[in-house]
Structure formats: C-alpha cells, structure tokens
Amino acid sequence: MKKILLVMKNEITTIISRPSFWLALLGLPLAGALIFAVVGAINKSTSAIETVSQVFSGPPEIRPEGYVDLSGIIRQIPESVPPETFIAYPDERSARQALTSGKIAAFFIVPKDYIQKGKITYIRPDFNPLASSGDQSNLLTWVVQVNLAGGNILFANLVNGPLEVDETSLTAVAPPDDDNPLALWTPYIITLIFYMLIIGSASLLLSNISKEKENRVIEMLLTSVTPRQLLTGKILGLGIVGLCQTVFWFGTSIILLNLSGRTFNLSSAIHLPASFLVWGLVFFLLGYAVYASLMAGLGALAPNLREASQATFVIMLPLMVPLFLSSSVFMQAPNGTIAIVLSLFPLSAPVAMMARLSAGGVPWWQPLLAAVLLAVTAVLIVRAVAGMFRAQALLSGQGFKMKIYVRALAGRL
C-alpha cells in the first residue's frame, strides 16, 4: 500500500512540475476568456462588427442584376421585390454589354423552353455558386415561379407546402428548440468534451508507461515494486490529476458562462440539472478507469510510443462511435433505440450517456444501470490489465500485435 502511494505521489509531482501541464491548465480558460471578451467587445460596437465582417466577407456590393427573358414568362415583378433589383434586357448581347460596362453585376437568361426543361443560365464574372452577398438568384427564380402561377404570390408559395405550421406534440419531452442553436448543440458539445477528457487523461498513462519502457526506467522500478502496484499507483495518480484538471476547467467555464451570460443570454438556453454534474463525475471516473487501464495494457505490450499510438485508434473506436453519431442520433432522437443501446453499452456509455443526459428526458434507472454496467466492466478490465502488467511483458521488446493484446486481456498469454 505504501508503495502504491509512493508511485502515485511521484506521478502527481512529475506531472504538475511540468510547465506544459500548467500551460494547458491555465491556457485553456484564459483563451476562452479572451475569446469571450473579444466577441463581447465586438458585439457592443457596430462599427467593429462591420470592419471584421468586411475582412471576412469582402466589401458589400449591391448592384442590380439583369435578366434576358426569351420565354416571355416574366410579365411583372412582384411589388415586394425592391425596385432596381432586376433590369430587363431584350437579348443576350445588350446584357453582356451592360455587364462589361459594370452597370449590372451579373445576369440571368431564361431560355425559350424554360417550362419544359427548367434551366436558367446565370452568368457571373466571379462564378461563385454559394455567394451570399448580392446573390439574387433565389429572388429571380421566385419571380419566375410567381409569374408561372399567374402572378398569384400565395399560390406560388403554397406549391412548396404550407406557409405556417402549428406543431403539437403529445409526448412530455419538448422537441429540441430549433430557434436556439446553442441548446440544440449542447449534446454535441458535451459529447465532444467528455470524449476529449477521457481520451486525454487516458493517453497520458499510455505515453507515461511506454516512455518509461523505452528509456529502461521500468527495469529499475521493477526491482523494488510489483507490476500491479506500479499500475495501480499510476492509474490513481494520473486519475487524480485528470480529475482536478476537469473540475478546474468545468469550474472556470461555468464562471465564464455566468459572466458572459449577460452578453449572450445563455442562461436561458442551456439548463443542465444539478444531477448532471454528479453523473458527469461518475461517468468520467468510471470511463477513465476503463480506458486508462486499456491504454496501460497497450503501453505494457508495445515496444515504443510510436507503435503504441498507432494501436490507440482501435481501442478508442467504441468511444468515437457516439461522436460520429452525435449530430444525427443524440441531437435528433436522444431517447431512440440506437441512443439507448449506445448509452448502456459500457465502452461507449461514458460519452453517450452524458450526451443523452444533457438532451434530457432520460428515465432515472438508465444512468444507474449504465453506471453499474460500466463499474463492473471497469473492475474486470482493471483486473485483466493488471494480469497483463507482468515483468515478462513489460521487459520484452517484441513488436505490438492486436492478437497478443486481446489474448493478454483474456488472461491467456
């Protein structure tokens, strides 16, 4: 026990004596605060917004655009279209002349067989299919539609479906609020944060072990501690550091959000219950235990850091699946079958369950069940990896193979 504590203490002191640790710990909230401050300051003054947006999008340009209607469809331009938006030209040549002389920014040609073929040519000098500023193509196609519908604007719009829909949902959970992008993206952000936290602290262990293996420190260590003591001490030490880091980051981000809440009006957008923090702690610790031991096993078997980091992808895959699916599954249907399966499956639960909890509407027993399943898995994996952490494996320099890893996990090496 004393030796475990010794290993743990040593790990903690080595990490916190490193300048890069403090840089990451303090740098992240500082960068966040800086961004918030800059954005807040820009939001306050309109002239600053204009300058910034001109750098990003170029000077605004609103010039009329021309059209050549060979089909005779466009008889009138609806009154809602501002005057001087479109200028009619009898043929392509005169439109081209106007384009060269800079009178118009671009022009459309509605061909004779428009009704049959439906093609409109849009001649633009900068050839930009996505231009948002000064792009009047949507307006022109709408004008053509209205004229096709005999000038009846309501009729032309109804062709694309109703104008206004009152939705009533009979289930208790409110659908995600489409108006507030931040609330919609909360599950995604939470998924990403948890993924990075778990992977970040787990890979710390991987690099730590494979480095000590590489520079032969481990040979010396093994003369005085057992492999199992070494593993337990390392997991505990790095876990404590990771936890403190997480708590610190969460704390500062909450303070930051509260401070900036006045500028962005966030408090009404995101409301995470207090139980969320408790579950966050539980799932972080358990997820860390599982992935850190998997990584430690990897570090124990791989001869050097490079080979180890190539194999990490395979191990992190279950944790990545929720990340891939987050935009479709957790944002759209956080309580659908796939989401439930992912949040109960131990290897993806730490990330998936947190995403669901942040979306809301999870029955109370599901996080409990997921936590129990995850805890059982954690115990099994820690034991399996401890078995893997033997002098023979730690000292050998043979290349890393997935087959050997799986066999070692099953205790058959």
Partner 1 sequence: MTKIWYVAWQEYRRHVFTRRFVLAGLLSVPFLILVLVGLVLLIISMDINTTPLGYVDYSSLLSNPLPAPTPEPPDRPVPVLPFETEASARSALDAGQIQAYYVLPSDYLSTGRLSVVHLGTLKSPARDQFYSFLTANLLRNTDPVVANRLVKGAELIIQSPDGSRSISSQNWFTVMLPMFAGIAFIVAMFSTGGYLMQAVVEEKENRTMEVIITSVSPNQFMAGKIIGDTSIGLTQIFLWMLFIVIPILVFRDSISFLHGIQIAHQTLLLLIFVMFPAFVMVSALMAAIGATVSEAREGQQMMGIISLPIWIPYMLTGLLMSNPNSPMALSLSLFPLTAPLTMFMRDGMTILPAWQIALSSIIQVLSAVGAIWLAGRAFRLGMLRYGQRLKWREVFARQGAKR
- Contact residues for partner 1, defined by CB under 8 A: 54-58, 96, 99, 114-116, 118-133, 137, 141, 144-145, 148-149, 154-171, 173, 175, 207, 211, 304-306, 310, 324-325, 328, 332-333, 336, 338
Token look-up 């609020």 returns 177
The least CB distance from residue 296 to partner 1, in Å, is: 18
Tokens for 252, please give them: 């500062």
Q: Which is nearer to partner 1, 56 or 364 (CB)?
A: 56
State the DSSP H helix or E strand holding residue 110, giving kind and residue range, or none if neither: strand 107-110
Cα-Cα end-to-end distance for the chain:
27
Q: Which letter, b or e, does each residue of 294-319 get, where b requires 16 or more Cβ atoms within 10 Å of its Cβ?
A: bbbbbbbbbeebeebeebbeebbebb
Q: Which is nearer to partner 1, 146 or 347 (CB)?
A: 146
Sorted by sequence, the CB contacts under 8 Å of residue 71 that are 6+ apart come out as 110, 111, 112, 113, 114, 115
Q: Which is nearer to partner 1, 252 or 309 (CB)?
A: 309
CA atoms within 13 A on the CB side of 124: 14
The least CB distance from residue 148 to partner 1, in Å, is: 6
Tokens for 404, please give them: 């050997």
The least CB distance from residue 402 to partner 1, in Å, is: 12
Q: Which is nearer to partner 1, 120 or 192 (CB)?
A: 120
Q: Which is nearer to partner 1, 256 or 305 (CB)?
A: 305
Q: Which is nearer to partner 1, 9 or 112 (CB)?
A: 112
- For residue 209, give the nearest of 329, 145, 301, 312 by alpha carbon: 301
The least CB distance from residue 366 to partner 1, in Å, is: 17
Q: Which is nearer to partner 1, 46 or 132 (CB)?
A: 132
The least CB distance from residue 332 to partner 1, in Å, is: 7
Count CB-CB contacts under 10 A for residue 146: 23
- For residue 264, give the nearest of 29, 26, 35, 28 by alpha carbon: 35
- For residue 289, give the nearest of 353, 352, 332, 243 by alpha carbon: 243
The least CB distance from residue 221 to partner 1, in Å, is: 20
Q: Which is nearer to partner 1, 275 or 328 (CB)?
A: 328
The least CB distance from residue 57 to partner 1, in Å, is: 4
Integer Cα distance of 311 and 331 in angstroms: 30
Tokens for 15, please give them: 């990490």
Q: Which is nearer to partner 1, 141 or 253 (CB)?
A: 141
Integer Cα distance of 394 and 219 in angstroms: 8
Token look-up 């909360």 returns 186
The least CB distance from residue 54 to partner 1, in Å, is: 7
What torsion do the CA atoms of 27, 29, 30, 34 make, to the nearest 10 degrees? 130
Q: Which is nearer to partner 1, 28 or 338 (CB)?
A: 338
Contact by Cβ (8 Å): 384, 390? no
Integer Cα distance of 360 and 353 in angstroms: 10
Integer Cα distance of 87 and 205 in angstroms: 68
The least CB distance from residue 284 to partner 1, in Å, is: 25
Contact by Cβ (8 Å): 104, 66? yes
CA atoms 303, 308, 311, 315: torsion sign = positive
The least CB distance from residue 84 to partner 1, in Å, is: 22
CA atoms within 13 A on the CB side of 343: 29
Contact by Cβ (8 Å): 105, 64? yes
The least CB distance from residue 275 to partner 1, in Å, is: 23
Q: Which is nearer to partner 1, 148 or 221 (CB)?
A: 148
